[in-house]
Structure 1
Amino acid sequence: MRRRRFLAWTLGAAACAAGCGSEHVTGGTARFSIRADGSRWARVGQAFAAAARASGVGTSPTGTKITVTGLPALAASELNNGQTLLDTATPLSRLTGDVEVVVVPVNSLFKDFDDFGAHLRAEPSRTMLAGGPQGEPDHLLFGLIAKGLGADTRQIDYTGYPSSDEAVSALLGGKAAAAAGLLGDWRAAIDAGRVRALAVSCARRVPGLDVPTLLESGVRVDFADWAAAVGPEDMTEDGRESAVRMCDEVTSSPSWRRACRAAGWISIPLSGDDFKVWLTSEVERTQAVLRDLGLLASSRATTCWGSCGNGH
């Protein structure tokens, strides 16, 4: 009989400062401490801890901290000090992805993505774009799209907004010709007929949404606002192997799959050495697009997650 092991759930300092609660599940002598790298990933961290408890997943070594973080944190670290998750943490497992969508007002002259792409390629400085804050996933996506189309990426006219509601208002108020953001944030406006979706960022179409992917539209970009689990920078090899096994058990569990469906996340598990290789390519791609956008001095380039046609 497998001994039941335990998880402790602890939010990071930024999340707690925002008023988030914490939950501890302990017993025996072994436990992990799972924290979110700020309130942005609190829901993923909570779902991960809950799925682990439901699965009876073990915890070893005692007290090892597992942090749930993601693409915005990676981009921010590049912009702030040049360090990445590869420098400051031990990669364990990719967990979830949020699909992004490119949208236009319902009465836009851009009838489809081809129309939008042609205009962006010909007049990048006169194609007003909107989304989340500069340097975050929405901005990165437009940078990747511009590069994939052969447009002058540094010339694109992008305005970042603190919230998706403000981006919606900007688009509908004529302050932007197109916007990008999480599909979940734009779904109500799409379903209400206030905006039209031109393309989704993932490699396969979203069920129930008759919208082509960027790959179908001729742009070799497969993209998601992803979240992942990482361990401490000084993690031992035994500790890393144990934590990777724990992540594999959780992300393959029915509880985790149910949590992802309920939240609208794509479950995109990839762990251990494979995740480290993927993360290395994602760091390079993020550096490259930040450079293309004029936000970094130098970097390397790539536009797809390994093989574009293979999805997540």
Structure 2
Amino acid sequence: MRRDGFLKSLAALAAAGALPAPAQTALALKMMIPANPAGGWDATGRALGKAMQDAGAATSVSYDNKGGAAGAIGLAQFVNASKGDPNALMVMGAVMLGGLITGKPPVGLDKVTPLARLTSEYNVFVLPVDSPLKTMQDVVGQLRKDPGSVKWGGGSRGSTEHIAAAMIARAVGVDPAKINYVAFRGGGEATAAVLGGNVTVGGSGYSEFAEYIATGKMRAVGVTSDVRLKGVNVPTLKEQGIDVEIGNWRGVYGAPGITAAQRKALIDALSRTVKHKSWQDAMDRNGWTPAWLAGDEFAHFVDAQFASLRATMAKSGMI
């Protein structure tokens, strides 16, 4: 076989994942982040891309932010542009499931390839620092008095903070359909709204608000965890008499139509990455909890989460 023919054959085998691990080259990845910059998905995608390069699992990573509709717009673009591409990844999570349930877009997660769950995180609710309300009990009091006067700000409709706000209303005897929820396309917009006093209450993953809470620019009044977060002196909703607990998680999908060998190669690359110091440092820096779950187990988890979220949202009057 001529040398150029041999090299083409070698490249084809590597792309299909058919070569032994030492012979496979690192990937030139394309990362779809279906949200605007400065939010949780953006932080996850960019931290993952850097860690994959640091771990030798990727030679380069390019990023494409496409926000809107709880990730459904980015998902549709990913499906249409990445068919059969073994170098394409998309960050996603619980927020996307909520958006798919409420928005019912034509393109769903059944069109893409589940790879792995990476992290879990709980939401925190915060008040603007100069708000006349000081505690979650103050928020509840105002909510009971005039539900529409409490402007909840957070991610897209169907996000975990949106669901949590509806659950809070229901738990304190307020019709969830009456909550005034303002959806933003990314964490950066939600943060700006809280800092500018344009919403009554802001909700997001704790890591997105952490620096503003630490510097006193936001007042944290409750987290959606069962027990207080490690190293975080913020009361849970439950310990304040509000029976609400809901978690967030983030994962990665591959392109439609990739082969089983290509899927395995991507999962192996992700598995190697999450063990690397670069990813561990990002986890610590952002306060993320490791939640590795890969392949078919991850696919089954997503199916179960979809059913569970749908039931929760129906119970809370959101659908």
Distance 1:291 1:102, change over 3 A: same
Relative contact order, CA 8 A, sep 6+: which one is greater? Answer: 2
Distance 1:190 1:77, change over 3 A: same
Check the 8 A contact 1:143/1:153 in 2, yes or no. Answer: yes
Check the 8 A contact 1:164/1:185 in 2, yes or no. Answer: no
1:51 maps onto 2:70 in alignment: no
Partner Cα separation in structure 1 for residue 26 and residue 163 of structure 2: 35
Matches within 5 A, 1:39-78: 40=37, 41-57=41-57, 63-78=86-101
Partner Cα separation in structure 1 for residue 236 and residue 204 of structure 2: 14
User: Aligned with 1:287: secondary structure?
Assistant: helix
Match of 1:219 in 2: 243
> CA offsets, 1:62-109, max 9 Å, x none?
935332233444444441526532x12222211234542112345666
Task: Give the Å deviation of 1:154.
Answer: 0.7
Partner Cα separation in structure 2 for residue 119 and residue 101 of structure 1: 19
Task: Give the Å deviation of 1:258.
Answer: 1.5
Partner Cα separation in structure 2 for residue 124 and residue 240 of structure 1: 47
User: Aligned with 1:3: secondary structure?
Assistant: helix
Partner Cα separation in structure 2 for residue 166 and residue 255 of structure 1: 29
Partner Cα separation in structure 2 for residue 148 and residue 81 of structure 1: 30
Partner Cα separation in structure 2 for residue 204 and residue 47 of structure 1: 27
User: Aligned with 1:243: secondary structure?
Assistant: helix
Q: Provide TM-score, normalisation by structure 2.
A: 0.66
1:155 maps onto 2:155 in alignment: no
Match of 2:154 in 1: 131
Q: Which amino acid aligns with 1:130?
A: G
Match of 2:231 in 1: 208
Task: Give the Å deviation of 1:280.
Answer: 1.7
1:164 maps onto 2:190 in alignment: yes
- Paired positions, count: 268
Matches within 5 A, 1:85-234: 85=109, 87-106=110-129, 112-117=135-140, 120=143, 124-149=147-172, 151-161=174-184, 163-169=189-195, 172=197, 176-217=199-240, 218-224=242-248, 226-234=249-257
Matches within 5 A, 1:6-21: 6-11=25-30
Task: Give the Å deviation of 1:229.
Answer: 1.0
User: Aligned with 1:154: secondary structure?
Assistant: helix
User: Aligned with 1:260: secondary structure?
Assistant: helix
Q: Which amino acid aligns with 1:219?
A: D
Query: Which structure 2 segments of 5+ residues have no match?
Result: 1-19, 60-83
> CA offsets, 1:143-171, max 9 Å, x none?
2333444532111122335512442145x
Please, which of 83, 105, 113 is the counterpart of residue 81 of structure 1?
105
Q: Which has the higher helix share?
A: 2
Task: Give the Å deviation of 1:257.
Answer: 0.8
Match of 2:9 in 1: none
Partner Cα separation in structure 2 for residue 222 and residue 295 of structure 1: 15
> CA offsets, 1:50-71, max 9 Å, x none?
3334334599x99353322334
Task: Give the Å deviation of 1:2.
Answer: 6.0
> CA offsets, 1:189-212, max 9 Å, x none?
433445421112344433432112
Matches within 5 A, 1:264-275: 264-275=287-298
**What root-mean-square deviation, in Å, do the aligned CA atoms of Structure 1 and Structure 2 show?**
3.7
Q: Which amino acid aligns with 1:191?
A: A
Partner Cα separation in structure 2 for residue 169 and residue 150 of structure 1: 29
Check the 8 A contact 1:9/1:35 in 2, yes or no. Answer: no
Q: Which amino acid aligns with 1:6?
A: T
Distance 1:100 1:38, change over 3 A: closer
Check the 8 A contact 2:89/2:252 in 1, yes or no. Answer: yes
